Amino acid sequence: MPREYRYQKLEKWLLKGLQEQRWPPGERLPSIRDLCEQQQISKATVLHAYQRLEALGLIESRPKAGYFVLKPGKETPKPRTTATMLPPRPVSLSDVFADIMSRSAAFDILPDLQAGEPSPGITALNRCLSRALRSQRGDRSQYYDQPAGDPGLREQLALHYHRRGYYHCKAEHFCITSGCQHAMFLALMACCQRGDIVAVESPGFYGVLQMLEQLELRVIEIPSSPVHGMDMDALENALKQWPIRACVVSPAYATPSGALMPDSARKKLLSLAEEHDLAIVEDDIYADTGFVQQPDPLKALDQDNRVILCSSFSKSLSRDLRLGWIDGARWHARILRLKLVTQLASSRYLQQGVCEFIRDGGYRSYLKRQRLELRNNRDQLIHLIQQHWPKQLSKTTRISQPNGGLALWLELDNHQDTLSCYQQALQQGIVITPGALFSVSGQHSHCLRLSFAHHWDDKRTQALTQLGQVLNA
């Protein structure tokens, strides 16, 4: 019998209570403190159980108010798993894709924000960067940094991951890169050879598809649910049929779906990886945005040193820093060489400035604020869709409810083609990310990713209303 953890026991007890309507729809659930005292368990255990029920769409947390039972009528329909599994194939992306990708990469799904004052967190970061630049002495700028990157920054990253349950993490495991895209590119170069098959989530991040095309790797798309991520049974099935070399996954708040991979799926993925000698490339870029929880990385469970952990500050702090990192597992030495070949070195002053920002506690407090804002933006976007889109459209659209990340995944009626809506929206100055972008096999063409990275001012709300009309036409 598998061991039942405390959070699972609590989850079962809460589920039973919900079924018996001990807390009717709309009612507040017991506070975290009360549950800790009543059941003699830790705050983390209670939070874990509540977050799982939230992911199931049964309850919702409200800032500073607690957890509440969702009213059935209020709940937005969740997207379903729609992808089907096709045999591995080479990746060949059209020019239209390249065009949309280049516009959407900036995540400006709707019109850009007016330039305003930077947030206090960014001002503090800028101060650290200026200080680091000023403190560069003599001729150091005439020398390249070591390929692995600044030891201080790597030390801070190791501490950061210790807090997220990756206890055996060390500074020397990391190599600093020019963003997460660069990190994943190095990972795929290190563990694959031309023609190899790579499993990816479907829908999944289009940047990965671009890399597979560039490296002449073949792709197999594994259906992924917007709630639990990659379907492990489908992956197992694929592994029985084809010699898959690597698997790219985003266990924490994957884009576009916002899915959070449960523990059971993580364990299964690692045991499949061992059985079939798979390399796992973990894209951890959204984990720090988690509204209530920053889940442990998959890497924390990796006993076999086959999970390559990739991430960056692009989604949690600044896209413009172009600073990322890679923990290359058993491919570390190879990755260091590849970093040297592709980038020589990273900017020393940028690394040192960011290192100081983290060491000073600036990053942690920035994240705290950012998470609250993102969560508000998410709630507002769902509310605005319901309020401003034509009734029939908002009623039939299935909307994800991610607890992290920067975007919602919308599943429209099957006959919709969001790629053609893309052109119409563009004529009105609105950039959207059509679903077709998240697959190479023409799937998800009735879906759409909408960003909530920015707050909803009048201009953006107006654009969202116009978008509703375009989709409804």
Ligand X SMILES: Cc1ncc(COP(=O)(O)O)c(C=O)c1O
Q: Which residues bind ligand X (CB under 6 A)?
A: 105, 179-181, 205, 207, 250, 255, 283, 285, 312, 314, 319, 324
Tell me how far, at minimum, the Cβ of 311 lies from ligand X, in Å.
8
Tell me how far, at minimum, the Cβ of 309 lies from ligand X, in Å.
13
For residue 372, give Cα distances in angstroms to 92, 183, 238, 298, 367: 39, 28, 39, 25, 9
In whole angstroms, give the CA distance from residue 287 to residue 270. 19
* Farthest-apart Cα atoms in the chain, separation: 72
- Tracing tokens 């405390």 back to the chain, one arrives at 6
Strand 66-69, strand 59-62: pairing: antiparallel
Q: Which residues contact 268 (CB under 8 A, 6 or more apart)?
A: 232, 236
Tell me how far, at minimum, the Cβ of 275 lies from ligand X, in Å.
27
Token pair of 60, please?
A: 């919702």
Of the pair 61, 312, the CB lying nearest ligand X is at 312
Of the pair 109, 270, the CB lying nearest ligand X is at 109
Question: For 113-179, where are the alpha helices, taking DSSP H only?
Answer: 120-134, 151-163
The number of angstroms, rounded, from the C-alpha of 107 to the middle of its chain's C-alpha atoms is 13
Residue with CB nearest ligand X? 179
Token pair of 204, please?
A: 């999944």
| Side chain identity at residue 222, one-letter code | I
Render 386-425 in DSSP notation, one character per residue.
HHHS-HHHHHH-EE---SSSSEEEEE--TT--HHHHHHHH
Of the pair 67, 357, the CB lying nearest ligand X is at 357
Tell me how far, at minimum, the Cβ of 409 lies from ligand X, in Å.
13
Tell me how far, at minimum, the Cβ of 377 lies from ligand X, in Å.
17
Tell me how far, at minimum, the Cβ of 345 lies from ligand X, in Å.
17
In whole angstroms, give the CA distance from residue 53 to residue 50. 5
Q: Determine how many CB atoms are found less than 10 A away from the CB of residue 414.
A: 9
Sign of the CA dihedral with 7 first, then 8, 12, and 18 last:
positive
Of the pair 255, 418, the CB lying nearest ligand X is at 255
Tell me how far, at minimum, the Cβ of 327 lies from ligand X, in Å.
15
Of the pair 76, 181, the CB lying nearest ligand X is at 181
Phi, psi of 89, deg, nearest 5: -150, 155
Of the pair 150, 282, the CB lying nearest ligand X is at 282
Contact 205, 438 (CB under 8 A): yes
In whole angstroms, give the CA distance from residue 324 to residue 312. 4
Sign of the CA dihedral with 407 first, then 408, 414, and 415 last:
negative
Tell me how far, at minimum, the Cβ of 25 lies from ligand X, in Å.
35
Token pair of 444, please?
A: 């998800």
The number of angstroms, rounded, from the C-alpha of 334 to the middle of its chain's C-alpha atoms is 26
Of the pair 88, 324, the CB lying nearest ligand X is at 324
Closest listed residue to residue 187, CA positions, set 170, 200, 169 = 200
Tell me how far, at minimum, the Cβ of 190 lies from ligand X, in Å.
17
| Side chain identity at residue 61, one-letter code | S
Tell me how far, at minimum, the Cβ of 185 lies from ligand X, in Å.
9
Of the pair 46, 350, the CB lying nearest ligand X is at 350
Tell me how far, at minimum, the Cβ of 451 lies from ligand X, in Å.
10
DSSP 60: E
Strand 197-202, strand 244-249: pairing: parallel
Tell me how far, at minimum, the Cβ of 149 lies from ligand X, in Å.
15
Of the pair 70, 298, the CB lying nearest ligand X is at 298
The number of angstroms, rounded, from the C-alpha of 392 to the middle of its chain's C-alpha atoms is 30
Of the pair 47, 190, the CB lying nearest ligand X is at 190
Q: Which residues contact 318 (CB under 8 A, 6 or more apart)?
A: 122, 125
Of the pair 47, 285, the CB lying nearest ligand X is at 285
Strand 244-249, strand 279-283: pairing: parallel
Of the pair 47, 186, the CB lying nearest ligand X is at 186
